[in-house]
Amino acid sequence: KLKEIDRFDAAFFNIHPKRAHNMDPQLRLLLEVTYESICDAGMNPIKLKGTKTGVFIGTSGSDAQNAFSSDPQTLEGYSMTGCATSKFANRFSYFFDFKGPSYTVDTACSSSLLALDCALNALRNGSCNAAIVGGVNLCFRPQTSVQFLKLQMLSNDGICRAFDSNETNTDGWKKDGITFPNGEMQKNLLENIYKEIHLDPNRIGYVEAHGTGTRAEVFCSKRDQPLLIGSTKSNMGHPEPASGVAALAKLLIAIQDGHIPANLYYNSPNTDIPGLSDGRLKVITAKTKLPNNLMSINSFGFGGANVHAVLEANSNRKENENLSRNEIRLAFACARTIDGCENILKNLKKYENNIELQALIIENSFHPSHTHPYRGFTLLNSSDSSIIVKKCNNERRPVWFVFSGMGTQWSGMGCDLMKLKLFRQSIERSSIILKKYNIDLFKLILSSTPRDLDHPINSFVNIAAIQIALVDCLKTMGIEPDGIVGHSVGELGCAYADGCFTAEETILAAYFRGKCIQEANLPAGGMAAVGLTWEECKQMCPSDIVPACHNAIDTVTISGPKQSIEKFVEELKEKKIFAKEVSCNQVAFHSHYMIDIAPLLKKCLENVIINPPKKRSSKWISSSVPENQWNTSLALTSSPDYHVNNLCSPVLFQEALQYIPSNAIVIELAPHCLLLAILKRSL
């Protein structure tokens, strides 16, 4: 029995309650199962919208239409549109926005398998690129069963005994009228099919029979072993127009399991089927291993529309061998209900090393929040068994990328991310670019020491390479920024994310930035973080020290000569004001002390950046050019002048953060989340 066929999530399918109440439960069931089937196939229904997908549905009648239309006083007209079987397929095309052929097939018992034939022909002739094939049959009215009984088509005890000698109301094949099987025509059909596909029918290992006594000689002319046969009718009764897809489902499960289920209620052979007596045919009476990868299905309509399908098992195997069993992975899902989301994640944890299942779930996690409002995640291969599920609203939250700068480098950065193929490939591309400059990027990332990373070139190329790889990973996952902000050298990452720089331009700009600093004869400089506002810094700093980075309202990085910085830090501490020197490799970044580097850096960048430079998009909020100069030539493009100015001018990070909406999802892209505390306080 089917449970709760009186229940239906009409809102999910955009169907008005009145229409849903007058809709044939067959159609409601088909809609639900089809949506599930698309997801189970590893496809996202959203991505099929507007595609050239055909719909072919096999059905024969609507008992519900008679029930909904029996009382003239309650008629609303919706039962006509909701129960017309001719429109079943069209409802699918309407809901999913499919653009391929769409029609219902009615050939009685062979309807759904003939629908499969129609779908295959449509695919072959190019009418559609994909197809939905279905069959349905729900019996509500006893009158239909009474008529079958009168025609001697039902057994008295309601059990189908396919191939058995106790053939209550069955008598094999004979020429007695349109409703009786024609064995000769069935034989001709099979011979023509196998001739067309150039396949010897003796190679078929199993036949899912319709149960009407098809002649055996087609399959058994040159067979060493008996042909294995069975019938879905013995397992579930006769689904009538849905019998073809029911048999197909049975065989697909058999292929997946590797075994064919037993044919039930078979005790002694039917004498009207000679193949059973002479040993050419063998009814499967117990769970049996598939003899080979070829099998077939018979589905015959009682008006004479006969269909035969040949199946070959997919020989491809799941490839989970390369997956680390100890690797912790993030799994996420979405669903219409909290229970649904939790169940999906529990199932993922149960099969946490099944990468195909994970890929399927992830593909189907991209649904609009109004249809799948519950979002959740869990960790696989982790001692943490928690599953987090929350309901989200329909608001589309903007995504902002924030690129950090100096101070985010550390020994071993990026090592764990190297397990991600996409990340590793991006690092490999950057490594190839840097080889001509005698830099081993992989060595720097995987085995550098803190002292190695104090070197300006090493720190800059490491930060840039990792930011490039992170952008590549996020964009591959479909995460595109609505806004971009960079801190200091992080604006090179902005240029890449904004499409102004190629990966090569980005990594080489970082290299020459470090090289120019390394080769410059700069006086020993220092930098320190202080707990003052920008204006307080301007007032309190000695004449040779300047505010360099406006990180937050009350957090500023100052820059100047090393000895002056050390002295001023001690003075601030005596006044109980927070002050701490920061590592800067004795370079006074973002101050007038960098002016001497500007000509050489500009010349190097002119050889790196493609001319003319690309225009910066409105997504990229500058943190190196004051807002009142955003319309000047300096700020309009990602030019050598822009990036030279970035090195020599203050970082106006706090000002840039004001453009990030309060509801934004902010992703810091860096080897380390240096700006996390500042972002939490400022946004």
**Which residue numbers are catalytic?**
109, 210, 238
Q: How many CA atoms within 13 Å lie on the side-chain side of 265?
A: 20
Type of residue numbered 484: I
Q: How far is CA 126 from CA 55, 132, 594, in A?
A: 14, 15, 65
What dihedral angle (degrees, nearest 10) is formed by the CA atoms of 574, 576, 577, 582? 60
Rg (CA), the chain: 36
> Are the CB atoms for 246 and 193 separated by under 8 Å?
no
Output DSSP code: residue 551: E
Whether residue 309 contacts residue 116, with contact meaning beta carbons closer than 8 Å, is answered with yes
Cα–Cα nearest to 117, from 314, 315, 313, 305: 305
Cβ atoms 109, 299 nearer than 8 A:
yes
d(CA 96, CA 90): 10
- What residues contact residue 388 under an 8 Å CB cut-off, 6+ apart? 376, 377, 378
Report how far residue 636's alpha carbon sits from residue 552's, in angstroms, rounded to the nearest whole number.
25
Distance CA 16, CA 9 (A): 10
CA 159 vs CA 155, 167, 168, 237, 482: distances in Å: 6, 10, 9, 7, 63
CB 308, CB 190: distance < 8 Å = yes
